[in-house]
């Protein structure tokens, strides 16, 4: 049994139950929200659980990361390979607060969703997708680069972050534009 309690302004979310029940209920909540608000709720739920629980309680109470990311992809209508990679980078940066996201971590999270096997994800040319998103898109929407290197970091794909255009693009996907 686990519990996640989130209070955002006047809105409260209280998820209690088994891992499966919490993941299902979290999926229902995510279907009604946009990408940014969904990430915010997941981040707050995760941070609260980390602060309140011991290491063993964390393993038992936090929804499994692959399932959470998979529900987020489904609820926001993200299916294309490039969009999944962009969403994964943002999830790792925003929810898990990783500052270094090597390709193996991106592949691992994507395969943990259960939608793709490790072998399928291994065939994706992550560097090509990331480089195209740095150069100006890969979406055909003409919004400019979706990814960039943070100031004072090496220009390696493991350090990329989303640009404002990248965030806007994910937001547009989540609302069906």
DSSP string across 39-98: HHHHHHHHHHHHHHS-HHHHHHHSPPHHHHHHHHHHHTT--SHHHHHHHHHHHHHHTS--
For residues 173 and 35, the answer to whether their CB atoms sit within 8 Å is yes
Mean local confidence (pLDDT), 115-135: 92
Helices and strands in the chain, H and E counts: 9, 4
Supply the pLDDT for residue 104. 92
* Per-residue pLDDT tens over the stretch 162-173: 998 898 888 888
Percent of the chain's residues with pLDDT above 70: 77
SS (H, E, C) 87-100: HHHHHHHHCCCCCC
Mean local confidence (pLDDT), 112-117: 90
* Per-residue pLDDT tens over the stretch 39-90: 777 777 777 766 665 455 445 544 567 888 888 898 888 989 999 999 999 9
Give 34's strand partners.
none
Buried b (16+ CB within 10 A) or exposed e, 70-92: bbbbebbebeeebbbbbbbbbbb
Supply the pLDDT for residue 127. 92
Position 96 confidence tier, pLDDT thresholds 50, 70, 90: confident
Supply the pLDDT for residue 57. 41
Asked if pLDDT for residue 174 goes beyond 60, the answer is yes
Give 7's strand partners.
12
Mean local confidence (pLDDT), 105-120: 92
Tokens of 22: 């919490």
Element (H, E) at 29: helix 19-30
Mean local confidence (pLDDT), 127-154: 82
Supply the pLDDT for residue 141. 56
Supply the pLDDT for residue 49. 64
Q: Residue 8: which residues within 8 A CB-CB, separation 6 or more?
A: 40, 41, 44
């Amino acid at each position: 049994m686990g519990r996640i309690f989130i209070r955002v302004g006047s809105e409260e979310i209280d998820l209690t139950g088994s891992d499966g029940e919490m993941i299902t209920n979290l999926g229902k909540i995510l279907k009604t929200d946009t990408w940014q608000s969904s990430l915010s709720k997941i981040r707050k739920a995760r941070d609260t659980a980390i602060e309140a629980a011991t290491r063993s309680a964390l393993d038992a109470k936090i929804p499994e990361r692959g399932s959470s990311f998979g529900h987020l992809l489904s609820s926001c209508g993200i299916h294309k390979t490039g969009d999944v990679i962009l969403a994964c980078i943002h999830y790792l940066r925003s929810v898990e607060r990783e500052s270094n996201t090597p390709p193996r971590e991106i592949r691992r999270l994507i395969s943990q969703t259960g939608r793709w096997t490790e072998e399928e994800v291994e065939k994706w040319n992550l560097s090509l997708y990331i480089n195209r998103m740095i150069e100006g898109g890969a979406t055909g929407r003409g919004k400019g680069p979706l990814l960039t290197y943070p100031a004072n970091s090496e220009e390696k794909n493991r350090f990329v972050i989303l640009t404002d255009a990248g965030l806007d693009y994910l937001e547009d996907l989540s609302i069906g534009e």
